[in-house]
A = this chain, B = another copy of it.
């Protein structure tokens, strides 16, 4: 018997042609409309990292959510636009039939030793083991994670506007799948829309472009296993139907694993 995990099921891809892989949506990853953006980012990254021409590790990924992916198969077309000695630039596009649903660019790179420093500091947070898990429950995919909110949980039915858009939470995979680059890419989209918190209510909102910078190298990821990751996000400006979010993902040991940014549409 082969043990499977919903994350691996959702990013499983088969090669159907030169530079084309096929995947399919999984009901457990359903969001409000279409799948969780994080799982789509993970599938795009997996498509690239499993390409035979790929060099190095993920350094940057931008995913543009052009239209909802409908239930069923999707194809990802990908190509290395440029391969240099130490980095490689990818372009990828996810389609269903003739319809482009997601576009992406990614940068893979060889890392080398040298001067290093982490200038940002992690938010202060109590140990995750002492915080009860919460499933925001608005959409299906959140049950696949073990979330421990430190600050800014999702507002309930009696929610009130908050002056701060900051949410900080510990997250790990509910099935204790170990953290790899696709899983880290997905975690970067773990946050419910910041406008919910500011407005104290659920309003129509969705990520339209997501950019992630991966700071953790493979060895650092391997060392984390399936432990909690401390995720913190805030918005800078909400205006005329859009806002931006910036976020950081930290290991329990204080390693900045990724910084990630997105622009989100909202109504109301």
A positions within 8 Å CB-CB of B: 59-60, 62, 64, 66-67, 81-82, 84, 86-87, 89, 91, 93, 99-101, 103-105, 107, 109, 111-120, 164-165, 195, 198-199, 208-209, 211, 213, 215, 217, 234-242, 244, 246, 248, 256, 259, 261, 263, 265-268
Q: List 20 A-B contacts (CB under 8 A).
A: A59-B208, A59-B209, A81-B100, A89-B100, A91-B103, A103-B105, A107-B209, A111-B239, A111-B240, A112-B241, A114-B267, A115-B238, A116-B238, A116-B240, A119-B236, A119-B237, A213-B261, A217-B240, A236-B256, A259-B261
A263 to B107, CA, bound (A): 10
Q: Is the beta-carbon distance between B259 and A118 smaller than 8 angstroms?
A: no
List chain B residues, Cβ under 8 A from A84. 66-67
Oligomer copy total: 2
Output the nearest chain B residue to A89 by Cβ-Cβ distance. Answer: B66
A209 to B267, CA, bound (A): 30
